[in-house]
Amino acid sequence: MPSLRELQLQFAAALVDRTSPSRDISLADGGLATYRRNGRANYRKALAATYPVVKRLTGVPFFNAAVDEFVVVHSPVFGDLNVYGGCLADFLDRYAPAATLPYLADVARLEWAIDEANRAADTARVPDAVLAALTMVDPQRMPSVRLLLDASCRIVESPYPVLRIWRANQPDRSGTEPIALDEGGVRLLVRRDADGVALESLSDGEHAWLNALAGAATLGAAIEAALAAEPAFDLGVALRRHITAGSISAIVDR
């Protein structure tokens, strides 16, 4: 006889597997179908809250079908659906019906970054203290220090104008304004400040620099990455901008 854990796993699988419910589950077909319908409705609702622009771009039937398939492939492992759906962008990259919408996955990446920025832990923003700490670093050690980004910071890159697409599909916009997909891509910093989530366009050098810092690179390595991407990268301007805005939250010198 299957153990309780095995039965629970079979039941969870049956809720998302529309083709092969387990024979060991003794619920009547009608009861299991009800659980499945309720489960699908919950997943659709949760992901629609995280990805409203993706839903608007595709329409409700397409979005619901994609979510249903996504849940089969990426079953949730936590009970909190508010933090579920981070793999949707990668799923959409491979989802055949979305092939005619090549920008859709990157719109999903932007929406997930916004969601993560909203949920990130609050950290104290003290630009003056960060600047003071930076001035105290021995110049010879400067290349080896690390600059920590605020917990809410996320970096998004796309060859498509996903920021314009996202803005054009906000509730107060019609979503019908013409946008050429070949008009240029974006490099964005997504972060939370006192007014909510901020979306900032980045230069090539800033993008490479912040990306390196986000990956725990030293300041010296991050500067090299920035200069490789943009020879005219100005470290002083970047430091002032991102320390003042609170994007850089601390200096680690060890």
Domains of the chain by residue range:
1-101, 106-254
Per-residue confidence (pLDDT) for residue 54, from 0 to 100: 97
pLDDT digits (tens, 9 = 90+) for 186-235: 999 999 988 899 999 999 999 999 999 999 999 999 999 999 999 999 99
Instruction: Answer left, alpha or beta for residue 102, where phi above 0 means left and psi between -120 and 50 means alpha.
Output: alpha
Sorted by sequence, the CB contacts under 8 Å of residue 78 that are 6+ apart come out as 84
In this prediction, residues 31-47 reach a mean pLDDT of 73
Q: Please give the average per-residue pLDDT across 143-151, as a whole number.
A: 96
Percent of the chain with pLDDT over 70: 83
Sign of the torsion angle spanned by Cα atoms 135, 194, 50, 38: positive
At 74, which amino acid appears?
A: H
Q: Please, which residues bridge with residue 6 across strands?
A: none
Rounded distance, CA 175 to CA 182, Å? 18
- Over residues 24-43, the mean pLDDT reads 60
Angle (CA) 219 147 117, round 5°: 130
What pTM was estimated for this model as a whole?
0.83
pLDDT of residue 80: 66
Segment holding 251, helix H or strand E: strand 248-252
For residues 189 and 116, give the distance between their C-alpha atoms in angstroms, rounded to a whole number: 13
Name the H helices within the chain: 4-16, 29-50, 52-58, 60-73, 88-94, 104-119, 127-135, 162-168, 204-214, 219-229, 235-244
Q: Using CA atoms in the order 92, 97, 101, 104, what is the torsion angle rounded to 10 degrees?
A: -20
